Amino acid sequence: MRMRKSTLLGFLFSAFISFVILQSCKNDSYLLTPPPVPDQSFTEEFDTFQNAYNRGWRFNNNSEPIGTEDWANGGIGPYSGIGHLFISYLAGSGLATISTWAISPPVIFQNGDKIIFYTITVGTAFPDRLQLWINTKNDGVNVGTDARDVGDFTIKLLDINPRYGNAIPDAYPDTWTRFEATIGGILHPVRGRFAFRYYVEDGGPAGTNSNGIAIDSVAYVSKK
């Protein structure tokens, strides 16, 4: 009986080891491959300010000192559709560092996605500037608390007229002009937001910079 019991235990042990080895050899690569990112593409025409807000756009004015105006719908003729987003030098008060943000709805970023938009200034006598940032840390809207903060929006994709030129072709465009930026350098798809920052130093009513700009026909295009 002892020999039979020992033989049976040996057989069971061998069968268990074989099962473990077979299980470890199974193709589990599907566990390592992330699921495909759904198409995040959209176009925002800013037909009305309220509709843009309802679709997830958020707005913040960190200008110092802060002025009497913020992002609004309209101001000049749109590039397309019936509306557009507009901001002026009155976002700051006196001699100001203007920093106002228009923050997109949440999207899932992946390398190769594109952000395309059109923008225009209302004049080149007082130079304007616009930046495009992304937040890959989370899908929140933290842009800090003062004019020079960027909060969680730590990756800058574009900076239009950073030297404050006021003569074409170096100035901010005074006709509707197309700009494009491509997402890159992220390790894996991540949920976040992108944001336009109207950032003008020495701006406001008493400054030597800042007129006002408009943004229209913003498209987020997912990589195919």
User: Would you say the C-alpha torsion 158, 163, 164, 170 has a positive or negative sign?
Assistant: negative
Per-residue pLDDT, 27: 54
Q: How far apart are CA 77 and CA 56, in angstroms?
A: 24
pTM of the predicted model over 0.75: yes
Per-residue pLDDT, 131: 98
Tally the C-alpha atoms within 13 A of residue 78's C-alpha that lie toward its C-beta: 17
So where are the chain's domains? 40-221
What is the radius of gyration, based on Cα positions, of the chain? 27
- Scanning the chain, the segments in alpha helix (DSSP H) are 2-24, 49-54
Residue 39 DSSP label:
P
Second-level CATH architecture of 40-221 = Sandwich (2.60)
User: Counting beta carbons within 10 angstroms of the beta carbon of residue 68, is it exposed (0 to 12), middle (13 to 18) or buried (19 or more)?
Assistant: exposed
Per-residue pLDDT, 191: 97
> How do the pLDDT tens digits run along the chain, 224 residues long?
444 445 544 544 454 444 444 444 455 544 556 677 889 999 999 999 999 999 999 999 999 999 999 999 987 899 999 999 999 999 999 999 999 999 999 999 999 999 999 999 998 899 999 999 999 999 999 999 999 999 999 999 999 999 999 887 889 999 999 999 999 999 999 999 999 999 999 999 999 999 999 999 999 999 97
Per-residue pLDDT, 74: 82
Vertex 62: Cα angle to 59 and 63 (nearest 5): 120
Type of residue found at 13: F
